[in-house]
């Protein structure tokens, strides 16, 4: 009986740590929506709207930090979004690049980039996750091979 209590307590603690890691992101705000039924659309290319990169003191960065923690906890989804649309054999390790705001369309865009191991053809691949404002719900994603400049 004592072993069962210890085991359940451990599982509860691990579950709570997972919630803390995600910073309380609701299921409707999680990037995991892209892997669920009725997922938001994913297209090849770049986000088409006007985009202003957020400066480090912008108030939206607090909300984007929570979204970033969620994305980084579910990085496998970024890999899957890209591999479903672009044939990539390289290992993919995404890094957060920036958060941008489209004030005309009320969108927040998080850009992630994975550097190509062999940079003869491409610099790497990007995933742009588009969230609606102010709800911070994932609304669209764009994936693209980034050519060498």
> pLDDT band for position 5 (50/70/90)?
very low
**What pLDDT, on the 0 to 100 scale, is given for residue 82?**
93
To 5 degrees, how large is the angle CA 98–CA 61–CA 27?
95
pLDDT above 90 covers a percentage of the chain that reads 63
**Mean pLDDT throughout 125-140?**
96
Task: Inform me whether the pLDDT recorded for 104 exceeds 80.
Answer: yes
**Mean pLDDT throughout 31-38?**
91
pTM for the model: 0.81
Q: Residue 124: how many CB atoms within 10 A of its CB? A: 21
């Amino acid at each position: 009986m004592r072993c069962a209590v210890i085991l359940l307590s451990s599982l509860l603690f691990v579950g709570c740590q997972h919630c803390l890691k995600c910073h309380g992101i609701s299921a409707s705000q999680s990037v995991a929506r892209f892997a669920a039924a009725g997922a938001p659309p994913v297209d090849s290319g770049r986000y088409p709207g006007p985009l202003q990169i957020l400066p480090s003191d912008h108030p939206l960065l607090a909300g984007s930090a929570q979204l970033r923690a969620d994305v980084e906890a579910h990085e496998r989804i970024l890999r899957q979004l890209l591999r479903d649309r672009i044939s990539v054999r390289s290992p993919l390790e995404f890094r957060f690049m920036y958060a941008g705001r489209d004030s005309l369309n009320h969108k927040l865009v998080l850009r992630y980039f994975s550097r190509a191991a062999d940079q003869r053809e491409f610099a790497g691949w990007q995933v742009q996750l588009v969230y609606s404002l102010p709800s911070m719900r994932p609304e669209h994603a764009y994936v693209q091979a980034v050519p060498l400049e």
